[in-house]
Structure 1
Amino acid sequence: MEGSQRDAVTVAGIDCGTNSIRLKIARVDADGTHDIVPRMLRVIRLGQDVDKTHRFADEALERADAAVREFADVLAEHPVDGIRFVATSATRDAENREVFESSMERLLGVRPEVIPGSEEAALSFLGATCVAPRHDLAAPYLVVDLGGGSTELVLGGDGVSAPDTQVQAAFSMNIGSVRMTERHLRSDPPTTEEIREAATDIDEHIDEAFQQVPAGKTRTIIGVSGTVTTMTALALGLKEYNHQAVDGVRIPFFQAFDVDNQFLNMTRAERSEYKTIHPGRIDVVGGGALVWNRVLARVSEAAAQDHDEPLDSFVASEHGLLDGIVLDYGRRLLSE
């Protein structure tokens, strides 16, 4: 109402990462977010060869344009109070990102914000921890957002010295499913030496991250992103992907390690037999699984040194960066 604070706003969030681009349109009110249309995901592989060339490939830009044209059509049917378009790892690294940003602005009327890893981590934490109250999870939480080009580790409060929802430490590592596949896992299936080199690379990044994030304090690991949810679905033995079955489920480490290693060592043709895996992830999901394996193992080792209770499982969340973008943006509009 004019002259008084609004009770709700309708907003759109767009999250463009290294491998995929996603759209969420939702109403935001005091109770959180309420989806208006099912979220859309398109695998565009924007980060194709960016690790090597530091530039967006022409065909990757064409895929991005095609996806955003679809988003524009949906937005035309569902008017919103505002759009926030966030771009992450690949765009941070691309020398010709101006071409991408200008094209997105022309198609949508809003320019992508290339956010730093620290903000990406905070928004991922905000989105991911919404599963905590429903599943009675123990804090502190470590949210792991495993993308195509980067992986964020975000540790939240303990509910005593700091609220559960407050970020205490965060670090963005330049490792992800696409980056590790292109950098190391070039054979099909990858060789033992390629896997060893990739694992060494991953561990070096984790060493750096652990200097900033006290991972040993973790009581619950919450994993988000396409790699984590895909591997979770495979660990559950799902024949097709099911969002409801994956969201909030707890998976023991031994089960995760078995499935991750199995699919890491498969050929791409063998992975393509599984409908659970999105076709756009078939060639890189093994690289993502290796990153996920190493993060789980290293956090478990750190936790064993800090407290007596073993950390032997993780919780998968369908909510992450995109949800954080929408919730944060909606709250800011409401406060204005």
Structure 2
Amino acid sequence: MSDVREVRVAGIDCGTNSIRLMVATVGERGMRVEVPRIMRVVRLGQDVDKTHRFADDALERTYRAIDEFADVLREHPVDALRFVATSATRDAQNREEFEDEVEKRLGVRPDVIPGTEEARLSFLGATSVLHTQFGDQLPPAPYTVIDLGGGSTEMVIGGDGTDVSVDQVAAAFSMNIGSVRMSERHLLSDPPTRNEIDQAVADINEHIDEAFEKVPAWRTGTLIGVSGTVTTMTGIALGLREYDRDAVDGAVIGFADACSTCEKVLTMTRAERREYPVIHPGRIDVIGGGALVWNCVLNRIGDAVRDHTRRVLNSYVTSEHGLLDGIVLDLGRRTLAAR
């Protein structure tokens, strides 16, 4: 009989654009996925930047996905479930209605986490698989993880391995910029005008300036990008005919290729984006805003590293493992510790 201690847990990541579920067994030997990630684009954050309220149709789309997740969880009972809500829910004045309905349908109340906690969990998820992705040839620390969501973008840097362990957060900041927020706030034309793009860039750079006051991004040894925007940009940069999770996860993309891809996607019409199967249909109208944020972040971090250290940082690592993995791994570890 095995004496290995483990628990089965589930995590739900409810973001501004999508909602995701994962069920996994977490034990002393790590995490083993039991039910692969299920993702539904629900656009919960539709117009929240403007109205500060959830739209009725956005709530209905989200509830349908939650009911689907409830069916999956009935088939795969878990020891613990955590429902994490992020940027859109933080901003919505009618969030209590949403929280009550989620509790009624799932039996757990949403945990509306601050941006710093979102950053910590994203960092945990992204760095937990580096040995799987790279083996013993780990990329250089410190690791900076960028989680580019629909409503917010988290920037978090870990330790250098000397003063602070490489898998521990040294500094983090959450910026109120993302694919949905920038698209709804600035990129209103199809395709966006140069004036709209310039206004969005100014907005994004103000937030990056604020983040740099808290996060020493110039220390970055390896940049890791997570979220649907980043993985989509990577898929396009790789020339994939359709989205391939295995090809994208762990892919190293040069800044030059990434920025040209971002510029191309940003200036496409929505009809042109529909010709790219790599782009999820639910991202067609907001991926331009995400591409612009990613382009700005890459350029600003690359410049910061060069200006402060004279080193050249000209590529990033793509990760399919971010906030959701962090939610599940953290919940599993805490559940085990409580037993």
Structure 2 length normalisation: TM-score?
Answer: 0.97
Contact 1:6–1:334 (CA under 8 A) maintained in structure 2: no
Secondary structure of the residue aligned to 2:214 is coil
Let me know the Cα RMSD of the aligned residues: 1.1
Q: Residues of 2 paired with 1:101 and 1:59: CA distance?
A: 16
> Aligned residue for 2:180?
178
> Matched residues in 1 for 2:30 and 2:206: separation?
38
CA distance in 1, matches of 2:156, 2:63: 31
| Equivalent of residue 223 in structure 1, options 219, 222, 225 | 225
Give the percent of matched residue pairs that are identical in Structure 1 and Structure 2: 66
C-alpha distance after superposition, 1:2-54 (max 9, x if no partner) = xxx97000000000000000000000012221111111000000000000000
| Paired position in structure 2 for 1:143 | 145
Preserved contact between residue 8 and residue 334 of structure 1 (Cα < 8 Å):
yes
Letter in 2 for 1:315: V
Which residue of structure 2 aligns with residue 313 of structure 1?
A: 315
Match of 2:245 in 1: 243
CA distance in 2, matches of 1:119, 1:145: 12
Secondary structure (helix, strand or coil) at the match of 2:8 reads strand
Q: CA deviation at 1:160?
A: 1.1
Q: What is the match of residue 107 of structure 1?
A: 105
Structure 1 residue 305 displacement after superposition = 1.8
How far apart are residue 130 of structure 1 and its match? 2.2
Map 1:238-317 to 2 at 5 A: 238-317=240-319
Deviations 1:107-149 (A, max 9, x none): 1111100000111000000001123333211100110000000
Does the CA-based 8 Å contact 2:141-2:161 persist in structure 1? yes
User: Could you tell me which of 57, 60, 85 is aligned with 1:59?
Assistant: 57
For residues 249-279 of structure 1, give each alpha carbon's deviation from its aligned partner in whole angstroms, at most 9, with x where no partner exists: 1000000011100010000010011110110
* Structure 2 counterpart SS, 1:12: strand
Q: CA deviation at 1:77?
A: 0.5
Partners of 2:168 and 2:120 lie apart in 1 by: 9
Tell me the residue number matched to 2:334: 332
Name the CA distance, whole Å, in 1 between partners of 2:315 and 2:29.
29
The one-letter amino acid of 1:210's match is F
**Which amino acid is the alignment partner of residue 116 of structure 1?**
P
What residue is the counterpart of 2:75 in the other structure? Answer: 77
Amino acid at match of 1:107: R
Aligned 8 A contact 1:220 1:315 in 2: yes
Q: Distance in 2 between matches of 1:18 and 1:234?
A: 23
SS in 2 for 1:211: helix
Distance 1:33 1:308 in 2: 39
Q: Please state if 1:42 is matched with 2:40.
A: yes
8 Å CA contact 1:145–1:153 kept in 2: the answer is yes
**8 Å Cα contact 2:4-2:28 kept in structure 1:** no
Question: In the aligned structure 1, how far is the partner of 2:242 from the partner of 2:218?
Answer: 35
In structure 2, the residue matched to 1:25 is 23
8 Å CA contact 1:155, 1:168 repeated in 2:
yes
Q: How many residues get paired?
A: 333
Contact kept? 1:17, 1:89, Cα under 8 Å = yes
In 2, the alpha carbon distance for the partners of 1:131 and 1:34 equals: 12
2: distance between equivalents of 1:230 and 1:223? Answer: 11
- Unaligned 5+ segments in structure 1 are none
5+ unaligned residues in a row in structure 2: which ranges?
none
In 2, the alpha carbon distance for the partners of 1:31 and 1:292 equals 34
- The 3-state SS of whatever aligns with 1:294 is helix
Per the normalisation by structure 1, the TM-score is 0.98
1:179 maps to a residue whose letter is R
Alignment partners' CA distance in 2, 1:210 and 1:309: 18
Residues 227 and 285 in structure 1, CA contact (< 8 A), matched pair in contact too = yes
